[in-house]
Structure 1
Amino acid sequence: MLISHEDVERYQRDGYLMVEGMFNEQEVARMIREVEQGERVATTAHGNADTSGRKARLAIWFDLNNDMWSDVSIAPRLVNGVRILLGEDAAFYHGKVMLKEAQSGGAWEWHQDYGYWYGGGFIYPNMISVFIALDEATKENGCLRVLRGSHKLGRLEHGRVGQQTGADANRIQQVESLFDLVDCEMKPGTALFFHSNLLHSSRANESPNHRRSFIVCYNATANPQLKSDQLVRMESCPVGTDNWLEKHP
């Protein structure tokens, strides 16, 4: 995968970049099998209720090991793409599987990822997420929605919205009309790289189709994190192989 100079300009302008065909059909099928049968998702999944009480389930982890998710996270096509868009070296922060299941998956309220991560002590918003569609993502099953260019607002205040952390609802109402609302409909294997200050949300899944995804989050290695009154820096993400499917057939 090559990210062009025009792609970088588009990312800086819009706050996101969509890349179709990042993962092929066989790779997506292997990730779905791991979602349904793997230990990592089964042992870490939990639900966060939206304002209606419907739960959006999420499995999350903060370490790299020898499992399939880790090898996907360090694949050159992801790590190098992140480095190019950040303009600097990157560290693995965490991985997560979003389980927006058919006719039951709850909504995610408007938020910025840095709205969460600021509270974790990260000094700058030099952070990026890569959202990989495992099922087809459509308006009907609650695809990701973004406000194009909203990352330029800077960090908004966040608080509790249902059992989730969301951006201040009054501020969202005030600024929503300033930006184009984009429904990020995606084919399986498509990846969406997006800035940590990009406002995004998703509706509940009331359709008969699952909308599952794998999301990998990275931090710039030059972006320190405050821990116990000390600034620490994360190590550069190791880079594996794009042929990760050979290791995890």
Structure 2
Amino acid sequence: MPLVVRTWNVFHGNALPPRRRGFLREMIELICDDSPDVVCLQEVPVWGIARLEEWSSMQALAVVARSPRVPGRAGVRVTRWNQGFFRSAFVGQANAVLVARSLTAEDRGHLQISDSGRERRVVQAVGVGGSYVIANLHANRGREVAESELKRARAFAEAASRVDEIVVLAGDFNLRDFQLDGYSASAAGIDHILLQGASVSAPLVWPTERRERDGAVLSDHAPVEVTIW
């Protein structure tokens, strides 16, 4: 059966341009509304991890990339004074992989891919349906830096895969116009879903109007999706 995979950097739940209020719930409900099989998320506020399964109706596996500076509800309350301004300054951020409840999901661990002194970035690996390993990553800016972090993420994902599993690399790569040897073609922009070992559709970047809600454009990134056969 085809597998629909999406990735979205949710910009800490912000709109574009940022507003005082956040839109994280609207984002999760939107990206999961038509029942995709796998959704990879980046820049999820840490407080939102506990809400992902409720809002998505999917299994949620998350890893914290940067811990909150202000623990508990206090950081959330401060951020809500002006979501667009504070972003993740107090509440931290996480990566998360959402998996349809009809599929098995197995945590295969995570790895810090950033060097010491840079903003902490991670890749997480999730086994899906006994046939795929999904690696969800968020790389730092700067081409050489992003390429180095992608190299680490790729090595981790391939090591986390099992015999005959299809390796999928998804997330915010912070890279444009590149080709990863042995993997499918990259998308336009900096968000990608690459895989080896299966047929895949051309990457679809959502048009802006598809992520508009109540006059707001959700996130400064567009979701990207592919269908794997």
TM-score, L = length of structure 1: 0.28
TM-score, L = length of structure 2: 0.30
Higher relative contact order structure (alpha carbons within 8 Å, sequence separation ≥ 6): 1
